[in-house]
Amino acid sequence: MTLLPPVLETGRLILRPMTLEDARDVFLYASDPEVTRHVMWETHRSPEDSRRFLQQVVEGYARGELLWGVVLREEHRLIGSCGYDGSWVREHRRAEIGYVLSRDCWGKGYMTEAVLEMIRYGFENMGLNRVIARCFAENRASERVMQKAGMTFEGTQREHVFVKGAYRDLKLYSMLRREFSF
């Protein structure tokens, strides 16, 4: 049985489960090399890549994975995604947030708004005690999202992942339940 994540709303965004019908919007941002320079996955080269990704997302819902499409409320346009896709460690009550955003929406505070909602959801609905987020060390914009969301810098994981042909450093941020203002 598939349990879809609930629809969540913020001032400017609707966070909703993704569907196969989102392939066109996903391809618009996932095919942008500037966007994918800062993520672990490869640039989508065709709409079929985006359809395959969405098929994995839909299948992940059946396993309890929590990934939301980020939709601009006023335009009803999917501009990215965020969530706890496969990183929830229930016995330790911790999970990792991941996110990606269309380049035309950078610098407008949308992802900080979405991340704060993900953190709230994690503490209130998932029973989390700890939420983390990581980014490539050179990704200042993503790091700024974590800072604006009130997360604490814990350190740099040196050459932590081998991605796109190179070892990459990751900056690690976290927030504990007791540090979040409900």
19/12 Cα distance (integer angstroms):
21
Sequential DSSP letters for 74-86: TTTEEEEEEEESS
Which residues does 158 contact at the CB level (< 8 Å), separation at least 6? 169
- Structure-block tokens of residue 120: 């709230």
Q: In CATH, what class is 8-129?
A: alpha beta
Compute the average pLDDT of residues 173-182.
94
- Extents of the domains making up the chain: 8-129
At 112-145, the pLDDT tens digits run 999 999 999 999 999 999 999 999 999 999 999 9
114 pairs with which residues across the strands? none
Compute the average pLDDT of residues 95-100.
96
